[in-house]
């Protein structure tokens, strides 16, 4: 009887008859809300959550017909959200158990792609999904979806940004679209959470995942992660250029955090990580030690540094940077000192290591050499070398 009553309520302006799909979604949401044992450790992910996501997605798709030109999506989104208000289940009194609730649906255009963002409540946050649509033969066809349905290693996501790059010629779209999504977990507390960055190539045949990576990020200001995707060079003939930045922990606990930079050039399906990989000499050493040799080798000038990398690289890399970074008499060289700590021996300090870094403006770094002893020609203190930097004006704040 309750579902019949709900269906009657759903008869409003624009609907001439009841919508059984919304009634089914409401029933799934009620079942989620009644789910026992949900906590920050197990925030409510499971098959029922996936069912709710897909019931929501499928119903929204049935409402997209009136969207034909930019601006149409505003009224459609208002209409969709008004209907969903009647379907959503209220959050628990403590405000943490959001299971069964729905977030506002966002609909917007991005370079000819219609982007829809939905959110279904779990514990302490919404688990958001991104869907992308292209109008093909007069109907909206889903060409992209990004959502978290693996509940064995569940990492719910908040969508921070969706960026689309599409080349144009003579006012018409040419070639595939490239879509970047940036997101993070929220959770009940803590300024540290996982961040996600993903890039797809989308054409008439569908979407192909090109980048799907994550890391531990620190909340600075209002966002965990920022990024951009453009064509390079400006004449639209070069590879697609994607750059992402977030704050992550340093191997030196005294430093606390550093800016992580992920810069990719994408040519068709080929993805290359290129400079900058860091924004300061210390951050570069941090990156070199903590990444696999297959990556660090490309940032090394001599071919025989693999032994040093094997010695310093581990599942846990920790230690302390030594004093100030030193500028050498050779103008493009800097020295970074580091004291490794052995995680297998109660973090006992090991002999110091000195990295010789070649720095080419603005942020191209390469490892020139490593030694047990400081270089005699690297004696000029350079306190500005490791000043906090960012590639994004929106990141001009410090914690």
List the structure tokens of 162: 């969706």
pLDDT of residue 314: 66
Percent of the chain with pLDDT over 70: 87
Handedness of CA 204, 205, 211, 216 (dihedral sign): positive
Helices 2-9 and 20-33 cross at an angle (nearest 10°) of: 130
Percent of the chain with pLDDT over 90: 63
Does the pLDDT at position 378 exceed 50?
Answer: yes
Within 10 angstroms of residue 375's Cβ, the number of other Cβ atoms is: 18
Mean of pLDDT over the chain = 87
- Mean per-residue pLDDT, 5-11: 43
User: Which stretch of 120-124, 197-201, 349-353, 394-398 has the lowest confidence by average pLDDT?
Assistant: 394-398
pLDDT of residue 14: 36
pLDDT bin (cut points 50, 70, 90) of residue 10 is very low
Q: Is 91 helix (H, G, I), strand (E, B) or coil?
A: coil
User: Which stretch of 45-54, 251-260, 355-364 has the lowest confidence by average pLDDT?
Assistant: 251-260
Distance CA 281, CA 67 (A): 50
Distance CA 62, CA 195 (A): 32
Determine which helix (DSSP H) or strand (DSSP E) holds 28, and give its type and residue range: helix 20-33
- Mean per-residue pLDDT, 77-85: 96
Cross-strand bridge partners of residue 394? none
Distance CA 178, CA 144 (A): 11
What is the radius of gyration, based on Cα positions, of the chain?
Answer: 25
Does the pLDDT at position 200 exceed 80?
Answer: yes
pLDDT bin (cut points 50, 70, 90) of residue 5 is very low
List the structure tokens of 353: 């290591």
pLDDT digits (tens, 9 = 90+) for 165-178: 888 777 777 788 99
Does the pLDDT at position 299 exceed 90?
Answer: yes
pLDDT bin (cut points 50, 70, 90) of residue 219 is confident
Task: Establish how many alpha carbons lie within 13 A of residue 18's alpha carbon, considering only the half-sphere containing its beta carbon.
Answer: 11
User: Which stretch of 92-101, 204-213, 294-303, 348-357 has the lowest confidence by average pLDDT?
Assistant: 92-101
Q: What is the 3-state secondary structure of 246-296?
A: EEEECCECCCCEEEEEEEEEEECCEEEECCCCCCCHHHHHHHHHHCCHHHH
List the structure tokens of 169: 């010629």
| Nearest alpha-carbon partner for 58 in 66, 50, 69 | 50
pLDDT of residue 397: 40
Q: Are 118 and 60 in contact (CB under 8 A)?
A: yes
pLDDT of residue 232: 54
pLDDT of residue 39: 64
Highest mean pLDDT, choosing among 128-142, 225-239, 324-338: 324-338
CB-count burial class (<10 Å; 0-12, 13-18, 19+) for 106: middle
| pTM summary value | 0.86
Does the pLDDT at position 44 exceed 60?
Answer: yes
Q: Is 60 helix (H, G, I), strand (E, B) or coil?
A: helix
Q: What are phi and psi of 143, to 5 degrees?
A: -115, -5
pLDDT digits (tens, 9 = 90+) for 353-377: 999 999 999 999 999 999 999 999 9
Determine which helix (DSSP H) or strand (DSSP E) holds 339, and give its type and residue range: strand 333-342
pLDDT of residue 2: 39
Distance CA 244, CA 282 (A): 19
Q: Are 80 and 65 in contact (CB under 8 A)?
A: no
Residue 265 CA to its chain's centroid (Å): 17
List the structure tokens of 99: 């299971």
- End-to-end Cα, the chain, rounded Å: 54
- Mean per-residue pLDDT, 34-42: 68
Q: Are 282 and 325 in contact (CB under 8 A)?
A: yes
Q: What are phi and psi of 191, to 5 degrees?
A: -85, -5
Does the pLDDT at position 60 exceed 50?
Answer: yes
């Amino acid at each position: 009887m309750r579902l019949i009553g709900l269906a009657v309520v759903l008869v409003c302006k624009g609907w001439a008859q009841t919508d059984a799909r919304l009634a089914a979604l409401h029933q799934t949401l009620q079942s989620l809300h009644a789910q026992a044992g949900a906590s920050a450790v197990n925030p409510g992910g499971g098959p029922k959550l996936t069912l709710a996501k897909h019931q929501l997605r499928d119903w929204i798709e049935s409402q997209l017909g009136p969207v034909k030109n930019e601006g149409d999506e505003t009224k459609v989104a208002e209409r969709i959200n008004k209907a969903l208000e009647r379907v959503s289940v209220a959050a628990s009194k403590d405000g943490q158990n959001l299971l069964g609730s729905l977030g506002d649906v966002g609909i917007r255009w991005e370079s000819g792609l219609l982007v829809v963002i939905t959110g279904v409540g779990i514990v302490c946050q919404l688990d958001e999904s991104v869907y992308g649509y292209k109008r093909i033969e007069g109907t909206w066809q889903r060409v992209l979806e990004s959502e978290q349905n693996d509940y064995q290693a569940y990492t719910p996501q908040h969508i921070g940004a969706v960026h689309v790059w599409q080349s144009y010629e003579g006012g018409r779209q040419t070639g595939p679209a490239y879509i970047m999504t940036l997101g993070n977990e929220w959770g009940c507390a803590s300024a540290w959470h996982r961040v996600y960055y993903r890039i797809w190539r989308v054409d008439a045949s569908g979407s192909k995942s090109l980048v799907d990576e994550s890391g531990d990020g620190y909340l600075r200001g209002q966002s965990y992660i920022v990024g951009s995707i453009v064509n390079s060079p400006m004449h639209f003939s070069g590879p697609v250029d994607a750059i992402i930045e977030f704050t992550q922990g340093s191997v030196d606990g005294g430093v606390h955090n550093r800016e992580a930079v992920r810069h990719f050039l994408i040519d068709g399906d080929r993805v290359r990580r290129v400079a900058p990989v860091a924004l300061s000499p210390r951050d570069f050493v941090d990156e070199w030690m903590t990444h696999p040799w297959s990556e660090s080798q490309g940032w090394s000038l001599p071919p025989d540094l693999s032994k040093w990398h094997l010695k310093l690289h581990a599942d846990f890399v920790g230690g302390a940077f030594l004093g100030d970074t030193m500028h050498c008499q050779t103008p493009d060289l800097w020295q970074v000192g580091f004291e490794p700590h052995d995680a297998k021996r109660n973090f006992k300090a090991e002999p110091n290591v000195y990295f010789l870094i070649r720095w080419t403006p603005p942020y191209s770094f390469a490892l020139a050499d490593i030694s047990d002893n400081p270089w005699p020609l690297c004696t000029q203190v350079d306190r500005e070398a490791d000043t906090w930097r960012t590639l994004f004006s929106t990141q001009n704040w410090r914690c």
